[in-house]
A and B are shown apart, each in its own frame.
Chain A
Amino acid sequence: MAIFVNENTKVLVQGLTGGQGRFHGLRNRDYGTQVVAGVTPGKAGQDVEGIPIYDSVDAAVIATGATASFIAVPPKAAPAAILEAARAGVSFIVCITEGVPAQDEARVFATLQRDFPKTRLLGPNCPGIISPGKCNIGITAGEIAALPTSTGPNVGIVSRSGTLTYQALYELKQRNIGVSTCVGIGGDPVPGTSFVDCLAEFQADPETHAIIMIGEIGGTAEEEAAEFIMTHVKKPMSAYIAGVTAPAGKKMGHAGAIVSGGKGTAQGKMDALRSAGVKIGLNPTEACELMAQIVAGF
């Protein structure tokens, strides 16, 4: 088991013929992911190192039975690409594109909610998802993720930041702790998948025994997660919130990472999580050390 993606997931890449799509799509395939198709309008019939290219997501799905899409197209094209995948019946969409306008994200989210309620979007502006040993969609370097063991305990990771996700994967690997699935939900204001969505899945996944959550300043997603954890998550958790020292009113790199009007502070988020029983580390290493202690207790 794993959440959202596993060894049976068939992936198509929208933008496989572009620089990013090609680089990461091929890396994902090298990792063992079933990358079955690429989509670039006007390039049907071509292939990228043996992966066939189709004109539309529809055509790719009909020909290959792909169930997931990896979107690596520029910000202008990303909203249409997401909706095209949803219309073609793709049930899991990973969009790594950085720089999608917030108004577009809000419209895409509302459209998915109304017209394609069964479609799950991860991102935009996210590193992707990896179920180690089974499936890797996105830009994570697969080799830094420890494989889960059949006996456990295995840890699920959910994070808003890319590099901090890698940091967590790497630290767990150094401590020989297996990872069931690692999900990067992205740092934008309207992420398709939230902390709560991932926590619910991890709670239900028998292969996941404990959960690490990495949040950051801005918005209220961590506070909502804390509320959900209190009532729904029985598995032990550790967490880290980036941006304790971030000044108010400045976007810290991510479009969503901003403290404004006294809201979205790291302190508020840590307090909320702490009162939900989550162990809080003051840096990523500490959060992973806390997880090592949790795992040692199994």
Chain B
Amino acid sequence: MDLFEYQGKQYFARHGIAVSAGGVAVSVEEALKQAELAQYPVVIKAQVQVGGRGKAGGIKLANNADEVRTHATNILGMDIKGHVVKRIWVEHASDIAEEYYASFTLDRSAKRHLLMLSAQGGVEIEQVAVTDPTAIVKLHVNPIEGLSLETARRAVVDAQISQKAVDGVAAMLVKLYECFTKGDCDLAEINPLILKPNGEVHALDAKVTLDDNAAFRHPEWDEYRATEELDEREKLAREKNLQYIGLDGTVGIIANGAGLAMSTLDVVNQVGGSAANFLDIGGGANAELMTAALEVINSDTKVKSIFINIFGGITRGDEVAKGIVEAMKRVKLRAPIVIRLDGTNAVEGREIIANAGIDESQLISRSTMLEAARVAVELAGKK
């Protein structure tokens, strides 16, 4: 789960990382209040999970209440690359002497944590990686040893960060690492990490991605869930506990297993169609689950056909078939289903479907993935 900047800053603050005084606002009145608390001058920042906010006019400096009113009015409701601004963050404007970059991620290939640090902050790190790769210091951290202040200090010196900022940045790296590990982040990034003229360092931005698998030990994440930006289909799927990702195509997809679901998307694309979604129904494809999955797919008005791709391993084909037939009694579908049923008890399953008394134009059975994909794409019309 990706956090908004303000949530990331609050998360940082929880782990002792210095951030600017500020608060979140959903209205102009609230923005004025937050500005008073943070003290002028303030910066007003659109809270959207997309890059390029500044260029789009989503970040403005305000020296007084009138300017806050003007900017907050403009920014709230603004559309930034398809993301509508619902919240703004109002914080005390910082004097900046220098800007750095720092992040922790997991290096999957090394199976170690990875610190990336650069004296060139405030710009996209991918860009620095291309134009001046030596400007980024990369340091692997063994997860069972952790990051010591001495090691952090060495990295800061290696990154050629100003002498006067070395201690401050090193201390912040240790805190950021704590936040990354104890806070169960997939990514904890500060860009820019700033040095103020008075010698203090602090996080001027925050990019945090949380590991959904760790939610069970972080009850405090519930508030982040509440603000997550999901489309209507994704909200419905979450309520039903389905692994669903909305896409833009016309063939609705239901498959058992993440790999098979991904593969189903590929095959649909390969025969000239486009998938409306990714949906992994998991192991127990019973009537209950199948009904829920079909309801979610049915709520997507772009869907012109539905491709159910099931490979029976432990999941039995006859049970899946019963589930589909039962679900079709419960949900009135707007689009026909093409089903490919293979593996354990597939023959019995196909029989159940053939004998269910459902109009053959509404429930079409094919024995291979490719054939089924072709029929589904034909029914949906080519992309």
With beta carbons under 8 angstroms apart, the residue of A27, A104, A256, A266 that contacts B108 is A256
With beta carbons under 8 angstroms apart, the residue of B113, B268, B343 that contacts A106 is B113
B370→A110 contact, CB < 8 A: no
Minimum CB–CB distance from B177 to chain A (whole Å) comes to 11
Complex contacts, B211 vs chain A, CB 8 Å: 101-103, 255
Please, how many angstroms separate the alpha-carbon atoms of A190 and B106 in the complex? 9
B213→A283 contact, CB < 8 A: no
Please, how many angstroms separate the alpha-carbon atoms of A243 and B247 in the complex? 13
Chain A 165-199 residues near chain B, CB threshold 8 A: 165-167, 170, 187, 189-190
With beta carbons under 8 angstroms apart, the residue of A139, A256, A283 that contacts B267 is A283
Complex contacts, A261 vs chain B, CB 8 Å: 126
With beta carbons under 8 angstroms apart, the residue of A24, A106, A144, A167 that contacts B344 is A144
Please, how many angstroms separate the alpha-carbon atoms of A101 and B185 in the complex? 10
Which residue on chain A has the smallest CB distance to residue B214? A101
B280→A253 contact, CB < 8 A: yes
Please, how many angstroms separate the alpha-carbon atoms of A220 and B278 in the complex? 23
Please, how many angstroms separate the alpha-carbon atoms of A180 and B165 in the complex? 59
Binds B, one of A34-42, A57-65, A156-164: A156-164
Number of chain B residues whose Cβ lies closer than 8 Å to a Cβ of chain A? 51
Please, how many angstroms separate the alpha-carbon atoms of A214 and B260 in the complex? 11
Chain A 73-117 residues near chain B, CB threshold 8 A: 75-76, 99-104, 106-107, 109-111, 114
Please, how many angstroms separate the alpha-carbon atoms of A112 and B16 in the complex? 32
B213→A255 contact, CB < 8 A: yes
B214→A161 contact, CB < 8 A: no
Number of chain A residues whose Cβ lies closer than 8 Å to a Cβ of chain B? 61
Minimum CB–CB distance from A256 to chain B (whole Å) comes to 7
Residue of B247, B258, B265 ringed by the most chain A CB atoms within 10 A: B258
Which residue on chain B has the smallest CB distance to residue A125? B213
Please, how many angstroms separate the alpha-carbon atoms of A240 and B264 in the complex? 13
A103→B262 contact, CB < 8 A: no
Q: Per-residue CB proximity of A185-219 to B under 8 Å, as 1/0?
A: 00101100000000000000000000000101101
B269 at the interface (CB under 8 A from A): yes
Known: A187-B258, A283-B369. A103 touches B243 (CB 8 A): no
Which residue on chain B has the smallest CB distance to residue A111? B144
B280→A243 contact, CB < 8 A: no
Please, how many angstroms separate the alpha-carbon atoms of A174 and B280 in the complex? 26
A292 at the interface (CB under 8 A from B): no
Chain B 143-170 residues near chain A, CB threshold 8 A: 143-144
A166→B343 contact, CB < 8 A: yes
A216→B213 contact, CB < 8 A: no
Q: Per-residue CB proximity of A211-236 to B under 8 Å, as 1/0?
A: 00010110111001000000000000
A254 at the interface (CB under 8 A from B): yes
A148 at the interface (CB under 8 A from B): no
B200 at the interface (CB under 8 A from A): no
B245 at the interface (CB under 8 A from A): yes
A245 at the interface (CB under 8 A from B): yes
Known: A139-B313, A139-B314, A141-B314. A162 touches B108 (CB 8 A): no
B344→A141 contact, CB < 8 A: yes
With beta carbons under 8 angstroms apart, the residue of B112, B278, B314 that contacts A252 is B278
Please, how many angstroms separate the alpha-carbon atoms of A89 and B344 in the complex? 36
B173 at the interface (CB under 8 A from A): no
A242 at the interface (CB under 8 A from B): yes
With beta carbons under 8 angstroms apart, the residue of B245, B267, B313 that contacts A166 is B313
Minimum CB–CB distance from A14 to chain B (whole Å) comes to 19
With beta carbons under 8 angstroms apart, the residue of B245, B257, B275 that contacts A161 is B257
Known: A163-B311, A163-B313, A253-B262. A245 touches B269 (CB 8 A): yes
A242→B184 contact, CB < 8 A: no
B257→A164 contact, CB < 8 A: yes
B144→A250 contact, CB < 8 A: no
Which residue on chain A has the smallest CB distance to residue B181? A103
A221→B144 contact, CB < 8 A: no
Please, how many angstroms separate the alpha-carbon atoms of A111 and B247 in the complex? 40
Complex contacts, B34 vs chain A, CB 8 Å: none
Complex contacts, A243 vs chain B, CB 8 Å: 262, 265-266
Minimum CB–CB distance from B349 to chain A (whole Å) comes to 14
B261 at the interface (CB under 8 A from A): yes
A123 at the interface (CB under 8 A from B): no
B106→A106 contact, CB < 8 A: yes
With beta carbons under 8 angstroms apart, the residue of A104, A114, A220, A283 that contacts B266 is A283
Which residue on chain B has the smallest CB distance to residue A76? B216
A103→B214 contact, CB < 8 A: yes
Which residue on chain A has the smallest CB distance to residue B368? A285
**Interface of B with A (CB < 8 Å)?**
106, 108-109, 111-113, 126, 142-144, 181, 184, 186, 211-214, 216-217, 243, 245, 247, 255-263, 265-270, 274-275, 278, 280, 311-314, 342-344, 368-370
Given contacts A166-B311, A252-B261, 14 further A-B contacts (CB under 8 A): A27-B314, A75-B213, A101-B213, A101-B217, A102-B211, A106-B112, A140-B313, A161-B258, A162-B257, A163-B255, A163-B311, A170-B342, A245-B275, A246-B262
List 8 contacting pairs A-B, 8 Å CB cutoff, sorted by A. Answer: A76-B217, A106-B106, A106-B143, A110-B111, A161-B258, A170-B311, A187-B259, A247-B247
Closest 7 CB pairs of A and B: A161-B259, A253-B258, A163-B257, A101-B214, A163-B260, A164-B259, A242-B262
